[in-house]
Amino acid sequence: MQSRYENDHRTVMTLDAGGTSLRFFAYRGNRCIRGPVSVPTGADNLERCLGNIREGFREIRDTLDEPPVAISFAFPGPADYPAGIIGDLPNLPAFRGGVPLGPMLEDEFGLAVFIGNDGDFFTYGEAIAGFLPYVNGLLEAAGNPKRYRNLFGITIGTGLGGGMVCNGDLVIGDNSCAGEAWLLRNRLNPCIHAEEGASIRAVRSAYAELAPGSSDDCPEPKMMFEIGMGLRAGDRTAAIEAFRRVGVVAGDVLAQALTLVDGLAVIGGGISEAYPLFLPAVVEAMNARYEVNGEHYRRLVPRVFNAEDPEQLASMTRGDVRGLTVPASGRTVKYDPLQRTLVGISRLGTSNAIAIGAYCFALSRLDGSPA
């Protein structure tokens, strides 16, 4: 299935902003054509940090064979993203009191500048060129009439990010705060937010609690995943349980979100590669039931399937298609009464999805679409 902007010839410059380094790229036709160009962040000095951002975009621009049409990238919040103004950033202490980063770059380069949240751009990228068209392509190949237009995405890494796309449009919100998944409830500890149960620090904290003597030398998630898979020495039981807990919290987050959004769900971020250890728990949590006065109710109306399980994926795409006869005409129509959704891992890779989301967001806005 051909995705939107796949053959577009316009170029957009983008940025992957980290606490220690800034990595600059250029995208065209949903593909990276230049980069990375890396410069230090200079997070503790605003003038130096802004100078490094200008320098990085100048360097990537000078490598291009034709002028870019826009700059578009994800940057940490809080922020007024439509205005391009960055607020007080916890991990970039130089940004305090409101910094008009977008207007500064517009003045410097004479281009339209679009800044957004990484969870938003991740989900938009997966909706345009990743998970959403992947699933719809499978449905088409299976001869199933069902198609999806809504997607909720989360990234599980240093924190818990989120974003939503409804009817093909990215939902930003009136305060640039739509999709703030990290503030949803933590199912395992409802007194704290979900990020404390679904993040790198959450899985490490759980492992340290479960594995005696590991608190001073707790492995990183990649090593913990290898322990859980039996590929490395360590407390395998603790690793499996730590990732299961992440899955329970993440699954409840997605269930809360899809109650409102009613679409597919995609997961990215640094922990996503460990999906064999947490994704079954995600699906189980989303398929859970409430019990009220002896009556049982589904946590979600749609049945949830695991996109990384071949049998479940086949069942989901096959559905329950049947033919119905139209009264008084004899004509038949296809009907699939199985209400369902699918949760899976990023098809683009998290960083690439964010960049493609930023690229497509810029072109959508330039074309007059609400994105």
Domain 11-117 classification at class level: alpha beta
AA letter at 117: N
Q: Specify the pLDDT at position 103.
A: 97
- CA angle, 367 as apex, 16 and 34 as ends, to 5°? 30
Distance separating alpha carbons of residues 311 and 320, to the nearest angstrom: 15
Residue 16 near residue 61 (C-beta atoms within 8 A) = no
Match 């970039």 to its residue by tokens: 92
For 250, list phi and psi in degrees, rounded to 5. Answer: -65, -40
Task: Quote the CATH superfamily of domain 131-346.
Answer: ATPase, nucleotide binding domain (3.30.420.40)
Domain ranges (residues) in the chain: 11-117, 131-346
* CA quadruple 64, 69, 74, 79: dihedral, nearest 10: 140
DSSP conformation class of 2:
P
Match 């007194």 to its residue by tokens: 191
Match 């947490």 to its residue by tokens: 278
Do 11-117 and 131-346 share a fold? yes
Q: Specify the pLDDT at position 218.
A: 87
Quote the radius of gyration of the chain (alpha carbons, Å).
22
Contacts of 60 (CB under 8 A, 6+ apart): 13, 24, 25, 26, 34, 35, 37
* DSSP E strand boundaries for the chain: 11-17, 21-28, 31-40, 70-74, 79-80, 85-86, 99-100, 112-116, 151-156, 160-166, 169-171, 264-268, 289-292, 295-298, 303-306, 322-325, 332-335, 340-345
Distance separating alpha carbons of residues 73 and 75, to the nearest angstrom: 7
What letters, b where the CB count within 10 A reaches 16 and e where it falls short, cover 1-29? eebbbeebebbbbbbbbeeebbbbbbbbe
Per-residue pLDDT tens digits of the chain, which is 371 residues long: 446 799 999 999 999 888 788 999 999 999 999 999 999 988 788 999 999 999 999 999 999 999 999 999 999 888 999 999 998 887 777 888 889 999 999 999 999 999 999 999 999 999 999 999 999 999 999 989 899 999 999 999 999 999 999 999 999 999 988 999 999 999 999 999 999 999 999 999 999 999 987 667 789 999 999 999 999 999 999 999 999 999 999 999 999 999 999 999 999 999 999 999 999 999 999 999 998 999 999 999 999 999 999 999 999 999 998 999 999 988 999 888 999 999 999 999 999 999 999 999 999 999 987 66
Residue 160 near residue 196 (C-beta atoms within 8 A) = no
